[in-house]
Amino acid sequence: MDLYGYFRSSASYRVRIGLNLKGLEYEYHPVNLLKGDQHGDDYRTLNPHGLLPTLNDGETSLTQSLAILEWLDETHPQPALLPKAPEARAHIRALAQSIASDIQPIQNLRVLQYLQAELKVSDEQKIQWIQHWIHLGFSALEKQLRPSPFAAGDNPGLFECCLLPQVYSAERFGLDMAQYPKIQKITDACNELPAFIKAHPSEQPDCIV
């Protein structure tokens, strides 16, 4: 498999976690978002949207991180990223989508670039924007999470693939995580596992300190 991503891209980070949880080997191809590599003809041929990540597996080319993660779960069922019961699967999908659809897109790079370049917001206002939307989402998630080691029980899965990158972003922009004890408990448990440690942005070959 070939994974095209960027070390700090939340969506790329999600897929790295999923691949690691499945124990799947892949070749990593950095796409530098700050340099605009995602807009180049070569990458646009792979992904016309110019977004990350893209996963290639032979003749199969996939985009959108949650679609990739569910494809991984269907083609490599063990260990499962989703629980078996339909109600439980829907619950985990809803938690994951609350991050992937409602929190992260509002504070991704192209939105922040538009805020600063076109709307002329200051660096301080940009950080306030990021913190506001993450806090709004995390506060709701705190009420939805169940008292288990992980969102679906004893093992991490689809939700944790989404949560850890969002926590990384929250910490990067100075949000006080003590406000979210359930989220912090899950995060601490994940950070002890090799699949999450290996997927962390600081462990990627294109990491810029």
What mean pLDDT value characterizes the chain? 96
User: Domain range for residue 42?
Assistant: 2-79+197-203
Write the CATH number for 165: 1.20.1050.10
**Count of domains observed in the chain:** 2
Same domain, 95 and 191: yes
> Considering only CA atoms, which of 48, 55, 45, 71 is closest in space to residue 9?
55
- pLDDT reported for residue 148: 84
Which two tokens mark 4? 């095209």
For residue 200, count other CB atoms closer than 10 A to its CB: 17
Cα–Cα distances in Å, from 57 out to 1, 129, 204?
Answer: 5, 37, 20
CA 33 to chain centre: 16
Same domain, 22 and 91: no
Same domain, 111 and 24: no
Same domain, 52 and 134: no
Name the H helices within 57-157: 65-75, 86-97, 109-117, 123-144
Same domain, 94 and 187: yes
Contact 141, 95 (CB under 8 A): yes
* Residue 209 domain-assigned (yes or no): no
pLDDT digits (tens, 9 = 90+) for 88-139: 999 999 999 999 999 999 998 899 999 999 999 999 999 999 999 999 999 9
Write the CATH number for 44: 3.40.30.10
Which two tokens mark 96? 């994951």
* Residue 208 domain-assigned (yes or no): no
The pTM (predicted TM-score) of the whole model is 0.95
At 209, the pLDDT band (50, 70, 90 cuts) reads low
Q: Report the C-alpha gap between 75 and 72 in whole angstroms.
A: 5
Same domain, 112 and 45: no
pLDDT digits (tens, 9 = 90+) for 128-153: 999 999 999 999 999 999 878 999 99
Same domain, 68 and 90: no
Contact 100, 166 (CB under 8 A): no
Same domain, 90 and 192: yes
